[in-house]
């Protein structure tokens, strides 16, 4: 599952040293434990996870379902709180913050992309993208301009007034990405962003995430899919609530190339169609 | 984020969910309108009837046969000795000429003019009928002494009878059949209005002697005493009781106008209370409607709250949005409900008298608005305190 292109480094205890750069960590989780009670049974979703995300990198957190990868993303995204352990964003410890302070951090520094999109129903793409800016206190005209820019950036400049139910899954996910990056966050967290999409939409979404990363945005990707994970530069493997492997991907998959492949396959299919039409015997 | 922005978010959310907004408002509208309408009917009828009774003057005494026991009402004591014209003369002699003693006889009547018939009440009296509080003559005249004594076939119509049998016409001079006998119409009474179903205008008044022949009786139903000095009502009442005791023992009742009024007020108050009870049921139903639509939308709204929190909404932002949403719906629904209720009350005026009361408006408005705000805000309050991920996961 690790592939031929990956260099494996064993996990030492503490912060994963292989990629630890002084004060370059945009996100740092230390000894994060999450346990909760489900049907009177204590579930240990995370058992002491240490994770550091460098500014500008594209990291995948990979693991089978139940490995705790989503829980980890929710905790480092400040949507959930750890049972013990600390989380720092931009070198600021957010563990002891009030819910409203956490909201402000989420608003300004974190962008989310969910598997199920989580757009507001019956609300236009434009208004959905503006939502974080509303809570950031940005004025109306400025909001509108920035939301439009973000939507243009994900290729939806012509869909501003569409409601989520008028958009395809891939388009909805791109609206969600626009919403995630409209506040110019320090980090974008994407939880199974391609999970609900067909392969082409999935590849397109991955291309957008890679493009954003190339433009300097830190991206953390959570997935169970090894192929999706290999779009990142580094993959952290999670199993039973612990990091078991931290691998650098040497030649990560370029989604742009995949899109080209799909285009050419389509083109060939199209040529074949027209060929068969032309080859039909004439009466 | 300021309050203007909160309003904008709330209004946008309401606008995005038009059906839900409309249904919630409908609950408030129905509750408020029903209460206002029903209570206005109750109070309207009550004040109209008590007003009529009070308008007859406070110096009237009513003598009924039979003993009034407890809450049996006048004449509720069962069949005893009836009042007769002889009692009228006797009472007139005992009470002095300054106090006017007037007999009244009432019975069921069917009235016929050409092919048209209707049912109503025959109310008979003597030449002092104009003092008997049956009504005021609008066209024509009352019967006089000669007609009263001579059993003349003359009739004064209530406005309801005129409207039914002689729509848009002046019936004076025409002939009408009352219980199969022809009567010449000599007058029409002014409209008294609603009462219990408008019956008060469906009467025909004829001379007492004629009515006694018509009904084959020598009794009178009630004896009225119009006391000259209103201050002497209680004294005259005592006098009448003393006078009648040798003849009737205790099988008679003397009622003052004040007693009648308070008696009727009790009945009508019960009616209003009953209508208010019905109205509060519709208020409750409206409230349950509001509650339902709010609770049903909780799962969707909890996810919405999760999304909003994930992108940076603070607890205050969420709460202010939901409070404003609920208040806008409740106030808008309440105002519409008041308009519908008051408009309905106004429209019903031609059928039954109505009177919009402020306590009903206030009660209905604040109850519905309170229910709306509570059930709009309480689930949101709970959701706003969840971790965002809990809210996002809510099914």
Mean pLDDT, chain B, integer: 84
Asked if the Cβ–Cβ distance from B311 to A137 is below 8 Å, we say: no
The pLDDT value given to residue B73: 46
**Residues in a beta bridge with A110:** A187
The pLDDT value given to residue A102: 94
| Distance between CA atoms of residues A120 and A115, nearest Å | 14
Instruction: Taking residues A191-214, report their average pLDDT.
Output: 93
The pLDDT value given to residue A1: 42
Q: pLDDT at residue A16 above 70?
A: no
The pLDDT value given to residue A77: 94
Q: pLDDT at residue A13 above 80?
A: no
Q: pLDDT at residue A272 above 90?
A: no
The pLDDT value given to residue B45: 84
Task: Choose the mutation target among A99, A140, A143, A189 for the interface with B, i.e. most B CBs under 10 Å.
Answer: A99
Q: pLDDT at residue A33 above 60?
A: yes
Decide: B283 and B367 in contact? Cβ < 8 Å: yes
DSSP state of B230: G
- Residue B278 neighbours by CB distance under 10 Å: 15
Confidence grade of residue A135 (pLDDT, cut at 50, 70, 90):
very high
Asked if the Cβ–Cβ distance from B303 to A118 is below 8 Å, we say: yes
The pLDDT value given to residue A15: 45
The pLDDT value given to residue A228: 93
Burial of A62 (0-12, 13-18, 19+ CB in 10 A): buried
Nearest to A103 among B314, B389, B392 (CB): B314
Q: pLDDT at residue A6 above 80?
A: no
Contacts of B387 in chain A (CB under 8 A): 79-81
Q: In chain A, which residue's Cα lies nearest the Cα of B307?
A: A118
Per-residue pLDDT tens over the stretch B311-323: 999 988 888 888 8
pLDDT > 90 fraction of chain B, expressed in percent and rounded: 19
Per-residue pLDDT tens over the stretch B296-315: 777 778 889 999 999 999 98
Model-level pTM? 0.70
Contacts of A121 in chain B (CB under 8 A): 16, 300, 304
Asked if the Cβ–Cβ distance from A118 to B306 is below 8 Å, we say: yes
Least confident interval from A16-20, A64-68, A78-82, A155-159: A16-20
Q: How far is A106 from chain B (nearest CA, A)?
A: 5
Task: Choose the mutation target among A45, A46, A122 for the interface with B, i.e. most B CBs under 10 Å.
Answer: A122
Q: Is B332 helix (H, G, I), strand (E, B) or coil?
A: helix
Instruction: Taking residues A225-251, report their average pLDDT.
Output: 93
| Distance between CA atoms of residues A272 and A276, nearest Å | 6
The pLDDT value given to residue A273: 63
The pLDDT value given to residue A21: 46
The pLDDT value given to residue A174: 95
Q: pLDDT at residue B266 above 90?
A: no
Q: Is A113 helix (H, G, I), strand (E, B) or coil?
A: strand
Burial of B51 (0-12, 13-18, 19+ CB in 10 A): exposed
Instruction: Taking residues B173-185, report their average pLDDT.
Output: 92
Q: In chain B, which residue's Cα lies nearest the Cα of A119?
A: B307
Q: Confirm or reject contact between A123 and chain B (CB < 8 A).
A: yes
Contacts of A104 in chain B (CB under 8 A): 312, 314
Q: What does the block give as tokens for B274?
A: 């009953």
Confidence grade of residue A2 (pLDDT, cut at 50, 70, 90):
very low
For A:26-85, CB contacts with B below 8 A are 74, 77, 79-81
The pLDDT value given to residue A209: 94
Asked if the Cβ–Cβ distance from B308 to A131 is below 8 Å, we say: yes
Q: In chain A, which residue's Cα lies nearest the Cα of B318?
A: A135
Q: In chain B, which residue's Cα lies nearest the Cα of A140?
A: B5
Confidence grade of residue B188 (pLDDT, cut at 50, 70, 90):
very high
**Nearest by Cα to B390 from A26, A36, A184, A230:** A36
Q: What angle do CA B80, B86, B88 make, to 5 degrees?
A: 90
Q: How far is A276 from chain B (nearest CA, A)?
A: 49
Q: pLDDT at residue B327 above 50?
A: yes
Decide: B58 and B50 in contact? Cβ < 8 Å: no
ipTM of the complex model: 0.86
Instruction: Taking residues A146-162, report their average pLDDT.
Output: 94
**Nearest by Cα to A60 from A156, A188, A170:** A188
Residue with tokens 């003359």: B154
Asked if the Cβ–Cβ distance from A127 to B311 is below 8 Å, we say: no
Q: How far is A254 from chain B (nearest CA, A)?
A: 29
| Distance between CA atoms of residues A129 and A140, nearest Å | 13
Instruction: Taking residues A231-255, report their average pLDDT.
Output: 93
Q: pLDDT at residue B159 above 50?
A: yes
Q: How far is B334 from chain A (nearest CA, A)?
A: 26
Instruction: Taking residues B135-149, report their average pLDDT.
Output: 87
Nearest to A112 among B16, B304, B310 (CB): B310
Confidence grade of residue A177 (pLDDT, cut at 50, 70, 90):
very high
Q: How far is B17 from chain A (nearest CA, A)?
A: 7
More confident residue, B54 or B157: B157
**Residues in CB range of A223: below 8 A, 6 or more apart:** A60, A61, A62, A69, A192, A194, A195, A229
Q: In chain A, which residue's Cα lies nearest the Cα of B390?
A: A80
Q: pLDDT at residue B195 above 60?
A: no
- End-to-end Cα spacing for chain B: 29
């Amino acid at each position: 599952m690790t592939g031929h292109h990956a260099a494996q480094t064993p996990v030492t205890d503490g912060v994963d040293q292989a990629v630890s750069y002084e004060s370059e960590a945009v996100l740092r989780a230390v000894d994060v434990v999450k346990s909760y009670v489900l049907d009177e049974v204590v579930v240990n979703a995370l058992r002491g996870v240490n994770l550091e995300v460098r500014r500008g990198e594209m990291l995948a957190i990979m693991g089978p379902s139940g490995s705790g990868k989503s829980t980890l993303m929710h905790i480092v995204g400040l949507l959930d709180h750890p049972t013990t352990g600390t989380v720092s964003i931009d070198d600021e410890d957010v563990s002891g913050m009030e819910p409203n302070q956490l909201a402000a951090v989420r608003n300004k520094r974190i962008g989310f992309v969910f598997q199920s999109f989580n757009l507001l129903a019956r609300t236009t793409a434009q208004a959905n993208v503006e939502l974080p800016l509303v809570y950031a206190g940005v004025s109306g005209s400025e909001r509108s301009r920035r939301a439009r820019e973000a939507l243009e950036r994900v290729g939806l400049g012509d869909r501003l007034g569409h409601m989520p139910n008028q958009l395809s899954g891939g388009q909805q996910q791109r609206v969600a990405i626009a919403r995630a990056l409209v506040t110019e966050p320090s980090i974008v967290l994407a939880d199974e962003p391609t999970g609900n999409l067909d392969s082409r939409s999935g590849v397109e979404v991955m291309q957008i995430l890679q493009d954003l990363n190339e433009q300097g945005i830190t991206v953390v990707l959570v997935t169970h899919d090894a192929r999706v994970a290999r779009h990142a530069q580094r993959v952290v493997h999670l199993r039973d609530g612990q990091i078991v492997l931290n691998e650098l991907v040497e030649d990560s998959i370029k989604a742009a190339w995949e899109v080209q492949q799909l285009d050419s396959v389509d083109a060939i299919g199209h040529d074949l169609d027209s060929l068969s039409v032309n080859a039909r015997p004439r009466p | 984020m300021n309050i203007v922005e909160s309003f904008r978010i709330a209004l946008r959310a309401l606008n995005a969910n038009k059906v839900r907004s409309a249904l919630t408002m409908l609950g408030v509208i129905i509750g408020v309108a029903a209460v206002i309408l029903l209570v206005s009917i109750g109070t309207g009828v009550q004040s109209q009837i008590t007003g009529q009774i009070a308008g007859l003057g406070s110096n009237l005494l009513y003598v009924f046969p039979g003993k009034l026991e407890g809450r049996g009402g006048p004449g509720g004591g069962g069949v005893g000795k009836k009042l007769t014209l002889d009692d009228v003369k006797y009472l007139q002699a005992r009470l002095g000429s300054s106090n006017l003693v007037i007999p009244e006889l009432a019975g069921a009547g069917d009235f016929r003019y050409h092919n048209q018939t209707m049912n109503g009440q025959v109310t008979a009296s003597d030449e002092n009928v104009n003092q008997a509080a049956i009504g005021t003559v609008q066209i024509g005249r009352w019967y006089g002494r000669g007609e009263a004594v001579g059993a003349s076939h003359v009739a004064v119509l209530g406005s309801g009878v005129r409207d039914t049998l002689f729509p848009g016409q002046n019936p004076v001079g025409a002939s009408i059949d009352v219980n199969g006998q022809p009567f010449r119409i000599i007058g029409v009474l002014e409209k008294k209005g609603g009462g219990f179903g408008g019956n008060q205008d469906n009467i025909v008044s004829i001379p007492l002697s004629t009515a006694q022949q018509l009904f084959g009786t020598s009794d009178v139903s009630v004896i009225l005493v119009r006391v000259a000095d209103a201050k002497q009502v209680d004294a005259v009442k005592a006098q009448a009781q003393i006078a009648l005791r040798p003849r009737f023992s205790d099988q008679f009742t003397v009622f003052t106008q004040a007693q009648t009024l308070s008696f009727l007020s009790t009945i009508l108050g019960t009616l209003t209370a009953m209508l208010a009870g019905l109205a509060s049921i519709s208020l409750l139903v409206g409230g349950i409607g509001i509650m339902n639509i709010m609770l049903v939308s909780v799962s969707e709204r909890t996810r919405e709250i999760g999304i909003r929190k994930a992108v940076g909404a603070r607890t205050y932002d969420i709460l202010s949005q939901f409070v404003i949403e609920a208040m806008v719906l409740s106030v808008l629904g309440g105002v519409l409900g008041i308009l519908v209720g008051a408009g309905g009350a106004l429209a019903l005026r031609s059928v039954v008298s109505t009177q919009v009361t402020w306590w009903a408006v206030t009660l209905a408005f604040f109850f519905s608005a309170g229910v709306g705000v509570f059930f709009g805000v309480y689930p949101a309050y709970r959701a706003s305190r969840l971790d965002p991920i809990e809210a996002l996961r809510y099914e």
